[in-house]
Structure 1
Amino acid sequence: MKYKLGDFVRFVDERREGYVTRIIDDQMIGVTDEDDFEIPVLASKVTSVHGHVSKRDKTDVVHDTPVVPAAEFKTKGIYLGVVSDAKAASVVHFHLINNTSFQLLVAHSTGKQESYKGEYAGIVAPQSATEIYSAQLADIQLWPEFQLQALYFTRQQTAPHEPLVFKEKFKAKDFAGAKKPLPVLNQNGWLIRLDEDDLVIDAEKLKESFFKPAQEKQQVDKPGNEVDLHIEKLRQDHQFMNSSEILNIQLEHFKKALDAAIVHQLHEITFIHGAGNGILRHELHKQLGKHQKVKTFLDARKEKFGYGATKVILK
């Protein structure tokens, strides 16, 4: 198998081209065309398009790095930056970001059920990044364990670092946060720190924390008059979740918003749940029907929401 996720290929027997978005097995791949339709095809029936070469196919060349003044020498700042493919959004690319002043000799492997595969080996220059792995975002539960090692090198008079060893089996929660600007890459994506700063415990602050009085009353934010329960409004990692997990998150958000409305003595509040299959609407109505602080509830403004929202009148 010579193709990798994100490679741009052209079909041999027909006028069609697209990006590799799935590795099915040793002979079959999935190619997504310009209509966002993924087509299973034999790897032998496509060919790489000239000019679309993965960064990992390029040979790393070691260069002497400029001398950095001792006061400006950065010893921390190694990350994995995960960005969506510009053409195939279902694919994400992992970049090793070296925001230090060291050169890094990096080896990256993946492992699954006692089966291991070397993915990348090379030198990552200071203040630079290189792509080391690609994967289907929706298949995160099937991803192998990451095993990454890095050796630090510099010709300057700087104390040597212990080798960096990182092992991780990623889960959906690791990508639950919002995307942010990534150092060096100047793109938005998920940032995973590999060289965490050593934990320093301040004994005096720790002692003080034991004697701080507990807050007498927890602050509850006032909700808006309309609360949108669509999962894409609540969580950015919803594509990793099954329907049961999504429903639980929506119901939890509903309960918190309803409680907050009661605390702030709102007269009414509207929950936007969408029409869909009606399961969320049914669950909301079931809980509202037995809530002691709810006077009544009804479908909210059909001309605006259709049957996709419920207005709650509070006592």
Structure 2
Amino acid sequence: MKYKLGDFVRFVDENMEGYVTRIIDDHMIGVTGADDFEIPVPASKVTYVYGHNISIDDKHNKPLAPIATENFIEKGIYLAVVPDQKTAAVVHFHLVNTTSYQILITLSTLQNLQYKGEYAGIVMPQSVEKVYAAPLADLQIWPQFNLQLLYYTQQNKKPVEPLIITERFKAKDFAGSKKQVPLMNQQGWLIRLDEDDLVIDAEKLKESFFKPAEEKQLVDKPATEVDLHIEKLKHEHQLLNSATILNIQLDHFKKALDAAIVHQLPEITFIHGAGNGTLKHELHKLLSKNNRIQTFMDARKEKFGYGATKVILK
């Protein structure tokens, strides 16, 4: 298969063009046009559009200048997941190397008990390499990723242990906001691969259990109306499945309710929307079990319709 996800192609027999958004098999691809509709097509029936595909340069053959020991960067390797700039239906995985090492990398995937080599190459110091691409709509069935990273430098440095990482990504891994990707003029989700080992300071841990009350964090007073719509709680919510969304909403509800009880508010209203009634049912179930609740009811219908619950506290 000569085509890759994100390639811009034109149909040979029709006046249509679009981006490759799915590799179906060795002979078939999915192409998404301007109408966002994906069309299955034989790979032999499309062709590249001149000027849209960029060739690889020979930067790996360039000699590296020596780096002063005090300026040698030991840490900073990331996997960046970045939406395609031309079609949001595809995301690209980049190995971001902000260290002074050359990184030898292999990537294989595992799906349905079948392994497949996806990428092998060198990521130079302070550079980025694309190692994989995937349709965003298939996030729930992405394969398991198997990454192996080997550090290399010609300088006088003690050898670093190779990194071996096995990961199966889920929607919750992309629940946070996108960030500026180092060395790239793009936003994406960043996953640090060479995290420092967690070192627990026993004395500081002990001190944290015996902080005076005035040093402990205070609970902020909540608003009298709390909106639980997911777009109000998470900017990057499009990738979340329904179960994850519900957990986020319930967690926010519990924190707001606890804060209202701490601050002795007389009442608080939760805006949950009408929807399919799942969130409302879960809220009412939790409220009915809380002995700090006097009663609860539908909030003002002229303002919220049937999409909010008013809670009266004791």
Alignment of 1:49-128 (within 5 A): 49-53=49-53, 61-128=60-127
Structure 1 match to 2:28: 28
Equivalent residue letter for 1:23 = I
Residue 167 of structure 1 corresponds to which residue in structure 2?
Answer: 166
Matched position secondary structure for 1:61: helix
Equivalent residue pairs, number? 310
Give 1:245 shift: 4.3
Query: Relative to 1, partners in 2 of residues 1:158 and 1:208: Cα closer, same or farther, differing over 3 Å?
Result: closer
Q: Residues 163-220 of structure 1, C-alpha deviation per residue, up to 9 Å, x if partnerless?
A: 333322223333233222221113221111222224555xxx3145346544667743
Partner of 2:202: 206
Unpaired runs of at least 5, structure 1: none
**C-alpha separation between the residues in 2 aligned to 1:197 and 1:134?**
28
The answer on 1:13 being equivalent to 2:9 is no
Is 96-105 or 214-223 further displaced after alignment? 214-223
Show the counterpart of 1:194: 193
Alignment of 1:149-160 (within 5 A): 149-160=148-159
Unmatched 5+ stretches in structure 2: none
CA distance in 1: counterparts of 2:286 and 2:196, whole angstroms: 46
Distance 1:207 1:218 in 2: 20
Quick one: distance in 2 between partners of 1:182 and 1:47?
A: 32
2:132 is aligned with 1:133: yes
Task: Verify the 8 A CA contact 2:60 2:124 in the aligned structure 1.
Answer: no
- Mapped to 1, the partners of 2:85 and 2:118 lie a distance apart of 22
**RMSD, aligned α-carbons:** 2.9
What is the Cα deviation at residue 51 of structure 1? 2.0
1:268-290 CA-partner distances (Å, limit 9, x unpaired): 32222123223323443455466
Percentage identity across aligned positions? 63
- Preserved contact between residue 104 and residue 123 of structure 1 (Cα < 8 Å): yes
User: Residues of 2 paired with 1:267 and 1:54: CA distance?
Assistant: 63
Contact 1:266 1:314 in 2 (8 A): yes
Q: Kindly indicate whether the alpha-carbon contact (under 8 Å) linking 1:288 and 1:297 is maintained by their aligned counterparts in 2.
A: no
Taking the aligned partners of 2:40 and 2:168, their CA distance within structure 1 comes to 28
Q: Retained in 2: the 8 A contact 1:226–1:270?
A: yes
| Residue 37 (structure 1) aligns with | 37
Q: What's the offset of the Cα at 1:300?
A: 3.4
- Taking a change above 3 Å as real, the CA distance of residues 289 and 101 of structure 1, as seen in their structure-2 partners, is closer
* 8 Å Cα contact 1:229/1:271 also seen in 2: yes
When the two structures are superposed, what TM-score results if normalisation uses the length of structure 2? 0.84
